[in-house]
Amino acid sequence: MRAALTTFIKYPILGNALIAFLLFAFFGWYMGFWGLKTAFFPERSSKTIIIQVGYYGASPEEMEEGITIKIEDALKGVVGIDEVKSTSSENLTNVTVIKDYDADIDELMTDVKNAVDRINSFPENAEKPVIYKRKPMDMVAYLNLSGKIDLMELKKQAENIEDDLLASDTMSQVSVSGHPDIEMAVEINESQLSRYRLRLEDISNAIRINNVDMSGGAIKSENEELLIRSRQRSLETKDIENIVVRSLDNGSDIRIKDIASVEKKFSETPYRSYFKGNPSISIQVQKLPEEDLESISDFLQRYVKNFNARYDDREITILFDFNHMLQERINTLTKNGIQGLVLILILLGLFLNVRLSLWVAWGIPASFIGMFIIASFMGVTINMISLFGMILVVGILVDDGIVIAENIYKHYENGAEKYKAAIDGTMEVFPAVFTSVATTMIAFVPLLLSEGSEFIGEMAVVVIACLGFSLIEAFVVLPMHIANKKVLRPRVNGEKIRQPMAQRLFEKLRMLMYDNALSNILKNRFTRYVSLFVGFIAFPLMIIIFISTGVVKTTFFPSIPFEEFSVDLAFKPGEREMKTEKYLWQFNEKINQVNKDIIVETGDTLMKYTTVNVGVTKHLGQNGGHAGHVYVSLDAEGKSVDVYEFIKRVREKIGKVPEAEQLIIGKFSRWGKPVSLGLLGKDIKELRGAKEEILKELRSMDELRDISDNSATGKREIDISLNPQAFALGFTNSDIIRQVRQGFFGDEVQRIQEGNDEIKIWVRYSSKDRSSIHKLEQMKIRGRSGEEIPLASLVDHKIERGIETISHYNGSRVVRIEAEKRDHYASTTDILDSVRARVEPIITAGFPGVSLTYGGERRHGVRTMRSLQKYGFPAICLMFGLIMIHFRSFSQGIIFLPLIIMGFCCATIGHIIRDIPLSVLSAYGILALFGVIVNDAVVMIDKYNNLIKNGTNLKSAAYIAGISRFRAIVLTSITTVAGLMPLMIQNDFQSRFLIPMAVSVAFGVLFGTFFILYFVPPLMMALNDMRQLGFWIKNRTWPEKAEMMEPAMKRQLRIQQIKKEIQDD
C-alpha cells in the first residue's frame, strides 16, 4: 500500500486521470447515455401467483367444495410456498399463492400450474383455471375520464385513449375500469313463450346454430380455388333479432324479435363511478421495472393537455401522478442533502485548512459518481429509498477523509514535510480507516439480504457502493492533493503553522470540556469503574425502564398520514344500488362541508377532489349494489389542519348510520391494519361464535375503532325443494332448477370478441319477469310433453341468508377481524398486548376448534425483524471478527459489543427527543448505526495501541488517545449528524417515512460520540485490570508493568523475539 501511495503522490497525473474518468462518467450519466431510471419506491420482484376459476351461477359453498378445496389440496405438496389464501364467492374462486422469500418464482409457477392441471374433478360447467404470475408493476398515474355524455360513449373514448397510450412506446401497462362489462341481452317475455309453446333453450339453440361463421370447404377448378364460407356471426342487434327460431306450417317464421327484446348494453352489475357529478371511467397507468416513471409521466402530461384542448364535453383529469410526488420528494431530499453538504463544508472549513476541507469534501461527489456507475448495472432506480441512502451516506463519506486528512495535517503541524506527512499520516491510520469503513459496509449488508430488502435494499446498495469508492478516493486521490504545496504551504525558515481562529477556539473548548473531565475519570480505579457503571449499566437499565413503562413508545410501523382516505359503506347484501348511491352522495356533501368549514376557520383548503363509487369498497372487500365508497384526495402539506384532524371531523359530521352493516372512514396502510386477527377453523358455526364474542370484546376497548370482519352475511336466498306433486309428474330437481336458472340467471349462449371486449350473449327473462318472488312462483315449468305448470305447484321454498364469501388461509377457513387505533400515534405493540390478553382466553375457554393468528402490521413487522436477526447476527459476528483481526486481540474486539448496546440506547434517546415510537423503520437505522458508531472507537483504540507500543504508560496512553483523536472523532460525528439534520427537522409527508431511520443514525452517532470519548478510555484500562487479574490467577503474582498485559505490547515483544531468533540463526 505504501508503494502505491508513494507512486500516486510522486505522479499526480494518475490521480488526476482517475478524477477525469469520474467526471466523464458523470457527464455520460447526465446526458442520458447511461443512467438510472426513476420510480416511486424500489422495484419489487414478483412473489405472487394467482389462480382464478369461474363457475357461473354457483354459490360460495359450491365454489368452495367443488373448486377451492381441490386446488388447495393439490398445492399441499408444492415446495416453495409460504402462504395460500383463497376466497370463494358467487361465480368465482380466487386463490393467491405467495412464495417463500428464497424460492424461485418461475419454478414455483411451473409447479403450481402442473399441480392444478392434474385436477380432473372440477364441476362440468366450471371454466378452465386461469393461472398467472402477478407482474412486479409500480403505479405511475391515476387518470379520470368524465363528461356530460352517456357511459357507453365514455367507454369507447376510454378505449381509444388506452390505445393511444399503449402506442406511445413509453408505457405498456394501461388498464381501464369503472364500468360494467358489455353484454348482448336477449330478454324474453314469458307470455310470448307460452303463446308459441317455446322453451328458453329453443331460443338459445337458435342463436348457437345460426349466429356462426363456418367454412364449407373449397371449389378447386383448373384456374382458381374458391373458398366456401358462411359469415353469419354478428353482434349487431338487428342481426340477432332476425334469427329464425321456428318456421310455422303456414310458411311464416318466428324470429327472435317476435318474442324477445335484443339490446347490447352494460351488464346488470351495479358498478358506476362519478367525478364532479358526472359519470366517469378510471384509467390506471403502471410501469414495469424496465420502464421509466418520469418519461411516462411527461408523456401523460402532454397527452392530457392536448386531449382537453380538443373536447368541450369530456375531460381527462390526472387525479394522482406518482412522478409529481416523487419530484416533490426528490426536491425535499435534495434540499436536505445540499443543506447537509453545506453544513459539512462549513464545519470542515472552520476546523481544518480551507483547501484541505475542499479536497476532503471532493470525496462526496467522487463517491456518488462511482456509485451511479455500479447502481446502473444493478438495476437501482432513483426513488425515495435510494435518495435517503444518498443523504444518509453524505455525512459518513467524509469520515475516512477527515481521519486521513486530520492525521496528515497533524504530522505537518508537528514538523514533517508535506510529502512525508502525506505518506506517513495516511499509512498510520490506513488499517484503522479500512477496518472502520469495512465494518460500516458490513452493517448494511443485512438490509440488502433481509426479507424487507425490497423496501430498503436499494439504500444499502447506495451506501455500500459509495463507501467502497470513498475508500479508494481517500487512500489514493486525497493524500496526493493534500501533499500539494497549495494545500500544505511550505514553511519558511522553520516557521510554525498558524491555526485558524475556529480551530484555536475548538482546542480551547476541548481543553475546557474534555481534557480535565477525562483526566478525572482516569484518575483512579474508583472513578473509572463508577463511570463505567453509569455508562454501561445504569444508562441501559434506564432505557429498559423507559421502554417497559411506555416512556418510549413502540410500534411495528409508524403511523404516516397519507394524503387520501375513503368512506366505505356496506348495507346488508341484497340492498339495491339506488339506496347505496343516495347515502354516498350525502357523505360526499358532508365531506365538502367539512372542507368549507376549515376554509372559514383557517383560510386553508385541504380537499383536492372526491369520487363517488357505487358497487365496490376501498377497504372492506365487499362488492355489489349494497356497497360503495367515497374516495377523498387531500393536500395537507403546510396546512394548519392535518389529515387525521380532517378525517376526525368527517367522522363526526357523518355520524352513525344505523342501517349500515359496516361504515369505515380511514386511510390506506402500506403494512396492513394495526390490529388484524385471523380465526382459523373447520367448523363455520364455531368460527362465527368465536367471531361474535371477539367482536363484542374489541368493541368494548376504547383504544380501537372501525372494527370490521370479512365474514359478512350474504344476500337472502330462496331455497327451492321439490314437492311430491313434482315427483309424481316425473320432474327431477335438475329439470326444474335448470329452467329456473335459464330464466332468472340466464343462459350464456356465446362469447364473441369485439375490440377489447369479450361480449357474452345471454338469453333470459325480461327484467319485469324477474322482479319479484311472485313472478318466480308463477313461472311456467315445461314438461317433456309440452305441458306448462306454475313453479309454485311443484316446489316448496324458504328464504334465509346465505354466505357472501368464504375465505381460507393455508387450507383452513378463516375469519379476519381488523381494527384501527383510535389514537393514530398510540403504541401498536401495547394495544396488541391488551388485545391478546382479552382475546386468547375467549378462544381457549369456549372455542377449542379455533386457532388464532395475527396479521397486518404485526405479521409484517415480526417477519421483517426475524429476517433482520437472521442476517444481522452473522453481520455483527463478522464485524467483531474483522475488528478482532485488526487489533489481533479478542479482548479489544469485545469493546465493540458494549458499543452496540450504547448505540441502541442513544438511538432510543433520539426517539424520546423527537417524540416518535421505536419501529421496524427505526431498526433499519439502528442496524446501520452499529457500523457507523464503531468507526471512531476503532480509530481511538488504534491510537492507544500505537502509544503503548511506543512505551507510553497505560494511563497516559488512554488519555492521549482520547485527546489526539478528539478532533477527528468530533468532526466525523458532527458531519454525519449535519448531513441528516435537515431531514430530521422536516415534518412533511415526503420525509416521514425516513425520519425514524435518520433519527436512529443521527442521535445514535451524536450521543454515541459522547460515550466513545468519555467511556472507551476507562474501558480499555478496565480490560487491562481484567488481564492483570487473569495473570495473577494463573501465576499468583502481579505483572511487573500493566502495559505488558496489552495485546499491542505482547505483539511487539513477540515480533522482537522472532526477529532475534532469526538473527541468531
Interval 66-84 mean pLDDT: 91
Boundaries of domain holding 649: 563-667
633-690, pLDDT tens digit by residue? 888 777 778 788 888 899 889 988 888 888 888 776 667 788 889 899 888 888 888 9
Are 369 and 434 found together in one domain? yes
pLDDT digits 0-9 by tens, 411-425: 777 777 777 777 888
Checking if the pLDDT of 999 tops 70, the result is: yes
Residues 854 and 671: their CA atoms lie apart, in Å, by: 13
| pLDDT of 497 higher than 60 | no
Q: Of 647, 636, 573, 586, nearest to 612 (Cα)?
A: 586
Pick from 557, 447, 617: nearest CA to 856: 557
Residue 865 lies in a domain: yes
Say what the pLDDT of residue 33 is. Answer: 45
Is the residue at 729 inside a domain?
A: no
Same domain, 654 and 738: no
Inter-residue contact 126 to 67 (CB < 8 Å): yes
CA distances from 789 to 727, 743, 778, 782, 785 (A): 13, 15, 9, 7, 12
Does the structure show a pLDDT above 70 at 502?
no
**What CATH number is associated with residue 119?**
3.30.70.1430
Q: Do 913 and 1030 sit in the same domain of this protein?
A: yes
Domain boundary among 667, 686, 708: 667
- Domain-located, residue 955: yes
The domain total for the chain is 5
The length of the chain is 1065
* 296 in a structural domain: no
pLDDT number for residue 332: 65
Pick the residue with more confidence: 233 or 507?
A: 233
d(CA 26, CA 472): 17
Mean pLDDT of 232-242: 91
- Would you say 430 and 407 are in contact if contact means Cβ atoms under 8 Å apart? no
- Domain with residue 1031: its CATH number is 1.20.1640.10
876 and 934 share one domain: yes
Helix (H) or strand (E) holding 607: strand 607-616
Q: Among 889, 516, 857, which Cα is nearest to 675's? A: 857
Cα separation, 191 vs 938, in Å, equals 94
List CB contacts of 213: < 8 A, sequence separation 6 or more. 229, 230, 231, 232, 233
Diameter over CA atoms, the chain: 133
Query: Does the structure show a pLDDT above 90 at 587?
Result: yes
Whether residues 785 and 880 fall in one domain: no
The answer to whether residue 492 scores a pLDDT higher than 60 is no
735, 795 Cβ separation under 8 angstroms: no
Residue 247, classed as helix, strand or coil, is: strand
Same domain, 907 and 1008: yes
- What one-character DSSP code corresponds to residue 498? P
Any domain includes 703: no
The whole-chain average pLDDT of the chain stands at 83
More confidently predicted of 754 and 330: 754
14 and 78 part of one domain: no
Residues 222-244 have a mean pLDDT of: 89
Query: In this structure, what C-alpha cell is assigned to residue 468?
Result: 467502497
- pLDDT for the residue numbered 668: 66
- For residue range 780-829, what is the model confidence (pLDDT) as tens digits? 988 877 788 999 889 998 888 777 788 898 888 888 888 888 887 788 88
Is 424 in the same domain as 532? Answer: no
| H helices present in 378-417, as ranges | 384-413
- What average pLDDT does this structure show over 962-988? 78
Q: What is the CATH number of the domain that holds 741?
A: 3.30.2090.10
Question: Beta strand 662-666 with 675-681: parallel, antiparallel or unpaired?
Answer: unpaired
Domain annotation covers residue 156: no
For residues 615-621, average pLDDT: 82
Q: Which residues contact 827 (CB under 8 A, 6 or more apart)?
A: 550, 553, 554, 555, 917
Whether 873 and 943 map to the same domain: the answer is yes
Q: DSSP for 264-320, please give it.
A: EEE-S---EEEETTEEEEEEEEEE-TTS-HHHHHHHHHHHHHHHHHH-SSEEEEEEE
Q: Is residue 886 part of a domain?
A: yes
**323-334: average pLDDT:** 72
Provide the pLDDT confidence category of residue 188 given band limits of 50, 70 and 90. very high
Cell of 848: 377449542
The span from the CA of 717 to the CA of 574, in Å, is 10
**Dist CA 584 CA 628 (whole Å):** 7
Q: How far is CA 533 from the centre of its chain?
A: 42
Whole-number Å distance between alpha carbons of 566 and 619: 8
Distance of alpha carbon 155 from alpha carbon 145, whole angstroms: 9
Q: Tell me how far apart the alpha carbons of residues 1002 and 801 are, in angstroms, rounded to a whole number.
A: 58
Residue pLDDT, tens place only, 866-895? 888 888 888 888 888 888 888 888 888 888
429 in any annotated domain: yes
Alpha-carbon dihedral 203, 206, 209, 210, rounded to 10 degrees: -120
If asked whether residues 745 and 614 sit together in one domain, one would say no
> Which amino acid, 406?
E
What are the Cα distances from residue 884, in Å, to 791, 888, 927, 1020?
A: 88, 5, 20, 14
Based on the domain organization, do 467 and 396 belong to the same domain? yes
Let me know the angle formed at the C-alpha of 196 by 193 and 198, rounded to the nearest 5 degrees. Answer: 55
**Is residue 864 pLDDT above 70, yes or no?**
yes
Answer yes or no: are the C-beta atoms of 174 and 285 closer than 8 Å: yes
Q: Per residue in 548-584, pLDDT tens?
A: 888 888 888 877 767 788 899 988 888 888 999 999 9
The answer to which of 46-60, 419-433, 731-745 has the lowest mean pLDDT is: 419-433
Per residue in 1007-1065, pLDDT tens?
Answer: 988 888 898 899 989 988 888 888 888 888 888 888 888 888 887 777 777 777 777 66
Segment (H or E) for 796? strand 795-803
Give the residue from 754, 771, 798 where a domain finishes: 798
Same domain, 787 and 754: yes
